[in-house]
Amino acid sequence: MKCGAGWNPAAGCHPPSAPFHLTTSMRRILAIESSCDETAAAVVEDSDTILSSVVASQMTTHSKYGGVVPELASREHLRAIVPVVREALGRAGTSLQDLAAIAVTEGPGLVGSLLVGLTYAKSLSFASGAPLIAVNHIEGHIHAVILESRRDGHPVELPALALVASGGHTHLFEVGEDYRYRLLGKTRDDAAGEAFDKVAKLLGFGYPGGPVIDRLAPHGNPDAVRFTFAKMKGNPLDFSFSGLKTAVLRWVEARNLNTEIAARRALLAEVPNPSTDQWLAVTPKTTLDLLASFQHAVIHELLTRAASSAEACGARAIIVSGGVACNSGLRHAARSQDVPSPGLSTDNAAMIAAAAFPKLASREFASLDIPAQANLTLA
C-alpha cells in the first residue's frame, strides 16, 4: 500500500510512537538497493549531491556457477546489509534522525534479494519514524542520469527517451516532464546484457562475460561477421537478441572451436580474473573479429531503436542507462547522449535515492506492509 499526501500513521507509514515531521531543512535520503546480486546503500542530499555510495558485490560468489544463484544471493545480502548501510551513514556523517526519508527498491528483481533490502528498510523506517519510499529499480537507472546531469549543470531536457539496458532489462521509455513513463519498446526474449553474458559463456570467457567482450572487441574487426536482426512483427520498437545469440552458436559450431574454448576455460580455472593480454593469448584473430562484430551489432540495434523511439515521441533528449551503459563501445557510440558514469550505470543505491526525491516532494510514501514485487513494471 502506498500513502500519499494524507499520510496516515494508522496505515503503517510510520510507528505511532515515533511521529515524523518533514521540514525543509531535512533533505537527505538513505537508499537501499538489493534487487539482484549487489548490496548497496547511499545517502543523497538535495537530489543531486551524493554524500556516500557503498556497494558490496557478490561477483566472486556467483562467477563459479556461471550466473547468479538466487538462494546464494539472498544469503549474501543478509550478511552484507547491516555493515553496508552502517558504512553509508558513516561516510555521509549522517544519523537516522537526519533523514528526510528512507528509500528502497521494491522491484523488479529476485524476490529473495528484494526482501532483504525491503525488510531492513522497513525496520529502519519503523525505528526512526522516517517515512518509507518505495522505488522501481528501472526508474532508478533513469534517475542516475538525471542526477548526474543536474549536478553537472546540464539538466536532461524533458520529455526524454530512456533506453535502459542491463543483464535483466532492455526497455525504451518516454519520460514525461512529471516523471511519468510510457513504455515504447522492450525485449521479447534475452536482455542485451544477458546476450553478452551468454555469448561470452559459450566461447569460454566465463561469467560475467560482458566486460570481457568489451575489453577484447577493440582487437577485432567489427565488420568481419555480418549479423542480421529479424524485423519485429507488431511493435517495431521491440528488441530480440535470441537470434543473434543463435547465430553466434552456429558460427562456433561451423568452425569447431572446441580446442580454443577449452584453452580459455583452463585459463579461467587457473587465473580467476585474467588480464586482457592473457585472454588475447588464447583467442585467435577470427574469434576477436566475432566478438567485435557481435558487440557492434548489439550497440547498433540498441541505438537505432532508441533514435527511432525518440523521433516517434518527440523526445528532446536520449538517456542511455543500465549496466550495459558501462560498455565502452556503447559509451563511445552514444557520446552525444546522456549517459551516466560507470559507477552509476551498474546497480547502486544513489540512483534509488535520486528517484525517491520527486516522491518525497509529492509525499508519495509507502506503508510498512508493501511486498517485494519481482515482476514490477514501470509503465
Q: What is the pLDDT of residue 17?
A: 34
Confidence class for position 179, pLDDT limits 50, 70, 90: very high
Give the Å distances, CA to CA, from 355 to 51, 76, 84, 111, 180.
16, 25, 20, 21, 12
Does position 5 have pLDDT exceeding 60, yes or no? no
pLDDT in tens, 29-76: 999 999 999 999 999 999 999 999 999 999 888 888 888 999 999 999
Report pLDDT for 10. Answer: 39
Among 17-31, 74-88, 203-217, the least confident range: 17-31
On the question of pLDDT at 300 being above 90, the answer is yes
Report the pLDDT averaged over residues 294-316. Answer: 96
Signed CA dihedral, 185, 189, 194, 195: sign only: negative
Rounded alpha-carbon distances, angstroms, from residue 261 to 120, 201, 217, 319: 43, 10, 17, 37
How far, in Å, CA of 280 to CA of 248, rounded?
19
Average pLDDT over residues 266-291: 96
Q: Give percent above pLDDT 70 in the chain.
A: 93
Contact 132, 160 (CB under 8 A): no
Check residue 65 and give its pLDDT. 83
* Percent of the chain residues past pLDDT 90, beyond the cut: 85
Strand duo 38-45 + 2-3: pairing: unpaired
Q: Is 94 a residue whose pLDDT tops 90?
A: yes
